[in-house]
Amino acid sequence: MKKATLIFPVRGTGAFMEVFLGIKTKKIGAGLWNGWGGKEEDSDVSIRHAAVREFRQESGGMDTDVESLIPRALIDFFFPGNETDGCDWSVAIYTVNDIRGTASDTEEMTGGRWFRVDDIPYDEMLPADRDFLPKVFSISSTFYGKIWFADGMKGIKKSHYEDKKMRYLGI
């Protein structure tokens, strides 16, 4: 199992909350809106440190602190053909409202912009994002999820979520 992170920078509250998204330029989801993140590397002290490092690299100028990350979810992703109990990727998902700097285009992400949470462009995101991201912004507790992708990663075969306190995997 590989570990990865996603950060969704937010500002404002309630009906005025906005989230900062970028367009991926590579790999799964290229050309689609997404949060900021990537895989954990051996040099990372923790998954939280990986999240901050990836945010810094992908945003091209924005930054935050490990302590500012707000754990939201841990989601296990199963790629097409994986019918085992072991996921392909386990992704720690955070929001953060204490950010510094300004984003610029990078090799991995471009076009960063703020969206009102009730106006997120779900039709221009991966099917999995459309499935779990509304939960990130609509429930106050953390949750655990499993998502099984359909053939070609073009949809979701099934998903399952449960409220769960996130005290493991450092999230």
Q: Which domains are delineated in the chain?
A: 2-163 (3.90.79.10)
Whole-number pLDDT of residue 27: 87
- What is the C-alpha separation between 7 and 112, in angstroms, rounded? 13
Task: Give whole-number Cα distances, 16 to 34, 119, 140, 148, 161, in Å.
Answer: 20, 11, 16, 32, 26
Q: State the pLDDT confidence band at 147, using cuts at 50, 70 and 90.
A: very high
Who's near 84: CB < 8 A, 6+ residues apart?
none
Higher pLDDT, residue 166 or 49: 49
**What tokens were used for 102?**
């300004």
pLDDT per residue as tens digits for the range 86-136: 999 999 999 999 999 999 999 999 999 999 999 999 999 999 999 999 999
pLDDT per residue as tens digits for the range 17-61: 999 999 999 988 899 999 999 999 999 999 999 999 999 999 999
- What is the C-alpha separation between 130 and 128, in angstroms, rounded? 5
- What is the C-alpha separation between 72 and 55, in angstroms, rounded? 16
Residue 170's SS3 state is coil
Q: Is the pLDDT of residue 171 over 80?
A: no
Higher pLDDT, residue 84 or 74: 74
Whole-number pLDDT of residue 169: 46
Whole-number pLDDT of residue 14: 84
Give the range among 12-16, 31-35, 64-68 with minimum mean pLDDT: 12-16
Q: Are 17 and 117 in contact (CB under 8 A)?
A: yes
Q: Write down the H helix ranges in the chain.
A: 47-59, 127-138
- What is the C-alpha separation between 166 and 163, in angstroms, rounded? 9
